[in-house]
Every structure is written in C-alpha cells, then in structure tokens.
C-alpha cells in the first residue's frame, strides 16, 4: 500500500484564508495527501497568503527563503504559493524564487489537483485566472470526519467598493455570492459533523445576494437548522447594513451580539479620499440603530491611521468617533501603500507622525477593550467550549460576545454550551465558573 503524501499549509491573514486552506487540503486529499503540522517531513508545502498587511509580498519571499533548507534536504518536495499575494505577483514569484513549483490564485484553487499533477510531472504550474466557473461547484465533497464545534463558511467573495487603499478588488475580483441552497447544504453537512457555531464569511459579507432576502434571509434560514446554535458573520461594510439585517440582530436569537463593522476613519474628508462612501455621522447613526434593537451588542472595527492627507484635526475626528461609539474590540494599522491602488500615488504622511497617532489610537482602543471585558465580571454568559486550556482540568471557549472564557471544571467538554458566571477579567480573556 502506498504511503500517503504529507501536506503542510501555512495560512496568513483573514478567516476566509483559513476556510480556503481547509478546502485546499480537502481538494488535495483526493490526490493522496494528509495534513502535517510541520514542514520538516512534508511532500508539499503551500503558503496561503494575504496581501492586506504591510510589505505582504516581501514577507512571503522571506518565508520562502526559510523553506529553502527543506527543499535542499528533499529535492522531491514541492512548494506552492496560493492566495492574494499569488494573485497579485503571479509569475514574478517563480522568477524571484525558482524553487517555487506552483502558484495559484484564490479563485482558482479548485484546480489544485490538475496543477499538482502537472507539478509531479516535472512542470511548473501557474493559475491566477478569474475563471467563469464557480470554484465551489468544482471542489471535492467535504469529508465526513468529525469536526470541532465552530466552523467558517464562505458565502460571498470579492469587492466592488474600490476603497482607495485596498487591493481586494484586484486580487479577489468582483463581488460574487454563493447560491443559498449550496450554502445551506454545506452548513447542514457541518452541523451533522458536530459544528454548533458557523461564521459566515465574505469580503463584504452583508452585500450577499444569493438569497432572495439577502444575508438576513440566509441567517433566518440557518437559524431553523436543528443543532446549529450560533451564527456570526464578518466582514461587513456600513453601506450594506439593510433594515432587515439590522432587525435580525434583535429578533434572531441564534445571531450573536457581536458585529465587526469597519469605519476606517472619523474624518469625512479622509473617508471621501478613501472612497468609503459613508460619513462619520452616518456610521454613528447606523450603530445607534443596531444597538437600538440589540443594546448589549459588542462592536468591533478597523481603523487606518496616517492615510495620505490626514491632518491632526482629521486624526482627532477619529479619536472623537471612537469615544462616541465605544468598541469592545478593534484593529488599527498605520497606512501602507499597495501598488496599483489609487492611494499609492499620493504623498504619505510623515512616518513619525503616523506612528505617534497609531500609538494614541491603540491606547484608547485598549482602554475601551479592557473596560468592555471588566464590565463582564459578575455577569452570566453562555460559553461554547472548544478545547482544553493550558492548566489541568481547564476548558476554554467563547462567549456570545466572542470573549475568550476559561473555566476549571469537569462538567463541560469540547462542544458543550454552558452558562458561566464571569468572576475575573484577565489579559485578553475572562475567568468563569460553570453555573
């Protein structure tokens, strides 16, 4: 009997890349590959890349350099680059790193079996097309193995917003939504294998139109699935939060009270320069509407500091918005240009000023995040337990607000939902007692 080949995948970036890596592993499973947690003994290494963060391409080239010893030790090892850097760089990756055998974009990875066969035949394989066919229709059926209690499920890809700083429209393509019946079929399969919480994914997930009633219609249908206890979605755009999706936050019990809704800046001048097509005021009013139906909502956001043209007054407007809204979680970054985007042609803010502003913003966001955690002490929450903790007898899970919660108890195991009283707020997590 032929020994299975070993596949090592390193995933960078967002939850959609986590989902894509799972599907790539499943696709190559049909070619005789099994997953390995280390590149040391792999027959194929895949780097599933993200192009959002600063110097993303250079970091991947550095990572490929670290993979060179594995290739030297095993000349039969195949190395591939997938994801958004692969889409953006294409043949340049192979030119700069000849040891790379395979490059595949995020819309073409359903073709991995053919690309792998080409590589095994001694050829190079490059596919960064935006194919007409639906890649999800061509992926292999998901294996029936038992799953953990949470799962990501991509329902929408691409972006038509063309924010001035963002490469996603160029690397992921135009907005495309999966038909609701296919999403429901995959969700039912996940639930049958033990999944109790599903996070719906998309670059602009609330622009989903694969259901007659949009994302809210899909959520309401999923809420009827026995065994599926929790539903989340990310990432959203303020301009696509329609009335029924807002209402769902108040009347759909399985939709969790956590929302990631990026604003990027509190300055209308900067928002216009970013091509965001919303204002600070419209964003604040939107949050008020959502909190009107779900007062306990924990809000998360994204912020870019030092965008070209940002003045101290513009930055102060961002601080004012943060103070007005209040965030339980947030992600903040210093602007870095992406080649090919409109903002990349504009004069940059002084790096020292941008660094100082980022530190001030992060200090404010950290205070808000700590306050949100501290306010949980004494409250009861429902925790979905996912894995053992570092200490003996400890279990770790997530509350409905996405806070990490750990308990020491023999009453709960992986996949259990339990009521927990929060007794302590510690760094980046909460301690609780099972009720």
Find the CATH number of the domain harbouring 425: 2.40.50
- Is 295 inside a domain boundary? yes
153 within a domain of the structure (yes/no) = yes
Last residue of a domain, one of 204, 237, 256: 256
Answer yes or no: do 158 and 123 share one domain.
no
Co-location of 159 and 105 in the same domain: no
**Predicted local distance difference test score (pLDDT) of residue 135:** 66
50 is in an annotated binding site: yes
238 lies in the same domain as 201: yes
Report yes or no on 288 lying in a domain.
yes
Assigned domain for 68 exists: yes
CATH number of the domain residue 313 falls in: 3.30.750.200
Is 84 annotated to bind ligand? yes
158 in the same domain as 251: yes
Could you tell me the CATH number of the domain that includes residue 151? 3.30.750.210
Per-chain mean pLDDT for the chain: 93
137 in a structural domain: no
First to last CA, the chain: 52
Per-residue pLDDT tens over the stretch 369-389: 999 999 999 999 999 999 999
Tell me how crowded residue 354 is: count the other CB atoms within 10 A of its CB: 20
Together in a domain, 119 and 12:
yes
Domain residue limits at 20 = 5-127
- The count of C-alpha atoms lying within 13 angstroms of the C-alpha of 33, restricted to the half-sphere facing its C-beta, is 28
Q: Is residue 368 part of a domain?
A: yes
The enclosing domain of 73 has a CATH number of 3.40.50.12160
Surface-to-core class of residue 322, CB atoms within 10 Å of its CB (0-12 exposed, 13-18 middle, 19+ buried): buried
pLDDT classification of 131: cutoffs 50, 70, 90: low
The reply to whether 169 and 79 lie within a common domain is no
- 231 vs 212: CA distance, rounded Å: 19
Pair (157, 236) in one structural domain: yes
Tell me, yes or no, whether 9 and 109 share the same domain: yes
Q: Which of 330, 353, 375 is the last residue of a domain?
A: 375
pLDDT in tens, 314-346: 999 999 999 999 999 999 999 999 888 999 999
* pLDDT beyond 60 at 1: no
For 70, other C-beta atoms within 10 Å of its C-beta total 18
158 and 201 fall within a common domain: yes
Give the tens place of pLDDT for each residue, 7-56. Answer: 999 999 888 889 999 999 988 988 899 999 999 999 999 999 987 766 77
Of 162, 199, 419, 122, residue with least CA distance to 275: 162
Q: Is 252 labelled as part of a ligand binding site?
A: no
Question: pLDDT digits over 152-185, tens only?
Answer: 999 999 999 999 999 889 888 889 999 999 999 9
* Selected residue with higher pLDDT from 83 and 291: 291
| pTM of the predicted protein model | 0.84
Per the domain annotation, does 151 fall within a domain?
Answer: yes
Q: How far apart are CA 385 and CA 249, in angstroms?
A: 23
- Looking at residue 141, its pLDDT comes to 65
Task: Give the model's pLDDT for residue 210.
Answer: 97
Same structural domain, 420 and 345: no
**Average pLDDT in the 395-400 region?**
98
Last residue of a domain, one of 64, 96, 127: 127
Q: Are strands 125-127 and 417-426 parallel, antiparallel or unpaired?
A: unpaired
Number of structural domains the chain divides into: 4
The reply to whether 93 and 205 lie within a common domain is no
Answer whether residue 226 is part of any domain.
Answer: yes
Same domain for 430 and 350, yes or no, is: no
Which is nearest to 347 in space by CA: 314, 306, 312? 306
């Amino acid at each position: 009997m032929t020994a299975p080949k070993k596949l090592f995948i390193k995933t960078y970036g967002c939850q959609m890349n986590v989902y894509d890596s799972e599907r790539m592993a499943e696709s190559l499973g049909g070619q005789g590959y099994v997953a390995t947690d280390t590149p040391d003994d792999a027959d194929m290494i895949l780097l599933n890349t993200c192009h959002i963060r600063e110097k993303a391409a250079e970091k991947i080239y550095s990572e490929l350099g670290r993979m060179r010893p594995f290739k030297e030790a095993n000349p039969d090892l195949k190395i591939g680059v997938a994801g958004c850097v692969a889409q953006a760089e294409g043949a340049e990756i192979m030119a700069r790193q000849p040891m790379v055998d395979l490059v595949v974009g995020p819309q073409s990875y359903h073709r991995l079996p053919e690309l792998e066969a080409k590589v095994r035949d001694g050829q190079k394989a490059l596919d960064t097309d935006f194919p007409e066919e639906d890649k999800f229709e061509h992926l292999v059926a998901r294996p029936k193995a038992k799953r953990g209690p949470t799962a990501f499920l991509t329902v929408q890809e691409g972006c038509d917003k063309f924010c001035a700083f963002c490469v996603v429209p160029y690397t992921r393509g135009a907005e495309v939504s999966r038909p609701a019946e296919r999403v429901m079929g995959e969700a039912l399969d996940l639930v049958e294998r033990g999944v109790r919480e599903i996070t719906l994914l998309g670059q602009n997930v609330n622009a989903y139109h694969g259901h007659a009633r949009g994302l809210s219609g899909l959520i309401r249908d999923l809420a009827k699935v026995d065994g599926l206890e929790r539903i989340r979605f990310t990432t959203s755009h303020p301009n696509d939060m329609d009335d029924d999706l807002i209402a769902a936050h108040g009347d759909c019990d399985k939709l969790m009270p956590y929302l990631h809704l990026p604003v990027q800046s509190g300055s209308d001048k900067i928002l216009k320069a970013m091509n965001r097509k919303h204002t600070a005021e419209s964003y604040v009013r939107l949050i008020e509407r959502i909190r009107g139906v779900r007062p306990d909502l924990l809000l998360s956001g994204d912020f870019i500091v030092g965008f070209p043209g940002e003045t101290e007054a513009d930055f102060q407007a961002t601080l004012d918005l943060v103070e007005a809204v209040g965030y339980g979680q947030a992600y903040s970054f210093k602007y870095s240009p992406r080649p090919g985007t409109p903002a990349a042609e504009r004069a940059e803010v002084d790096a020292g000023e941008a660094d100082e502003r980022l530190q001030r913003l992060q200090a404010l966001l950290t205070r808000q995040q700590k306050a949100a955690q501290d306010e949980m002490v004494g409250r009861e929450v429902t925790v979905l337990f996912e894995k053992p903790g570092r200490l003996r007898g400890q279990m770790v899970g997530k509350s409905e607000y996405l806070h990490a919660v750990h308990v020491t108890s023999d009453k709960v195991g992986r996949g259990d939902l339990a009521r927990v009283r929060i007794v302590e707020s510690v760094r980046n997590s909460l301690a609780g007692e099972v009720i």
